[in-house]
Amino acid sequence: MADPRTVILPCGVAVTALGQGTWGMGEVPGRRAAEVSALRAGLDLGMTLIDTAEMYGDGAAEEVVAEAVAGRRDEIFLVSKVLPSHADAGGVAEACRGSLRRLRTDRIDLYLLHWRGAVPLEETVEAFESLVREGAIRSWGVSNLDVDDLADLPPGAGPQTDQVLYNLSRRGPEYSLLPRCRELSIPVMAYSPVEQGRLLGHTALRDVAAAHGATPAQIALAWVLRHEDVIAIPKASSRAHVEENRAALEVDLTAEDLATLDRAFPPPGSKRPLEML
């Protein structure tokens, strides 16, 4: 199996195009061992970008990540997120310290504003830049920001990504957000790339999967990953699921496949509000 494809962030760092999400991890104690094992399996397969957030399980997901990456921190590109209610000058620093403590690390590679709240973006960005200077974070980015929100970032701001909901059934970002991010050279990070499994029973997805000897989840992931500047962060809670996700990188969708999926999941014909889960 070849090394995973990478995406270059604006700061010049290469990250794997297929990472690992942790939304929902740490919420059921009996699943913790399997979740840790799944994350470690992903690392073994080269899926070294792990995305988490202080919100997930009120920090419990970060604790799962800490256990999974123990002894391997230097292999990992670690992404976490601050809640908008903590996004003022003092709150960002305090939230970051909390995440660092739960993650048992001295730095977060990419720290994101989880979504836009009442705190001015300028204040949040200034707090992020302060954390970069301190070495607590290596870089920062945003999540769930649409085109107009990106335009409100302070002059000279340099987000490394915009993490948004993007999958076959949530194609709104294609109309204006993906093109704008390309103009700004900001890769998009797609969360819930298989719509938390709700896509997988669709007939068109099953038909394309059958033609490739693949699973519907692999086709849905391959569809998101067809963009060279999009990172996908599916969650998997078992080793088998991680291996299934990893194999999506080996799927090459044809023009006919893409046309079939376009008919089943039409691209947007106009601007749509940015969706969130």
pLDDT tens column, 156-186: 999 999 999 999 999 999 999 999 999 999 9
Written as six digits, the tokens of 14 are 């290469």
Q: Catalytic residue at 166?
A: no
Contacts of 122 (CB under 8 A, 6+ apart): 154
- Average pLDDT over the chain reads 96
Alpha-carbon distances of 224 from 23, 166, 170, 190, 232, rounded to whole Å: 19, 8, 11, 8, 7
**Least confident range of 100-104, 121-125, 154-158:** 154-158
Please determine, for residue 87, whether its predicted confidence score (pLDDT) is greater than 70. Answer: yes
The three-state secondary structure class of 20 is: strand
**What's the confidence (pLDDT) of residue 163?**
98
Report d(CA 229, CA 234) in Å as an integer.
16
**Residue 31, burial from CB neighbour count under 10 angstroms (0-12, 13-18, 19+):** middle
Give residue for tokens 């067809």. 226
Written as six digits, the tokens of 43 are 């690392």
Beta strand pairing call for 14-16 and 6-8: antiparallel
Measured over the CA atoms of residue 190, residue 195, residue 200 and residue 203, the dihedral's sign is negative
Phi, psi of 137 (to 5 degrees): -130, 150
Report d(CA 76, CA 73) in Å as an integer.
5
Which residue in the list 56, 111, 166, 191 is annotated as catalytic? 56
Q: How many CA atoms lie within 13 A of 27 on its CB side?
A: 10
Q: How confident is the model at residue 2 (pLDDT cuts 50, 70, 90)?
A: low
Q: How confident is the model at residue 4 (pLDDT cuts 50, 70, 90)?
A: confident
Q: How confident is the model at residue 51 (pLDDT cuts 50, 70, 90)?
A: very high
Predicted confidence (pLDDT) per residue in 216-260, tens digit: 999 999 999 999 999 999 999 899 999 999 999 999 999 999 999
Please determine, for residue 13, whether its predicted confidence score (pLDDT) is greater than 90. Answer: yes
**What's the confidence (pLDDT) of residue 1?**
57
% of the chain with per-residue pLDDT over 90:
97
**What single string gives the DSSP state of each residue in 69-114?**
HTT-GGG-EEEEEE-GGG-SHHHHHHHHHHHHHHHTSS-BSEEEE-
DSSP H or E run through 230: strand 230-232
Give residue for tokens 């490739």. 212
Report d(CA 221, CA 249) in Å as an integer.
8
Taking the whole predicted model, whether its pTM rises above 0.85 is answered as yes
Report d(CA 134, CA 248) in Å as an integer.
38
Report d(CA 34, CA 236) in Å as an integer.
10
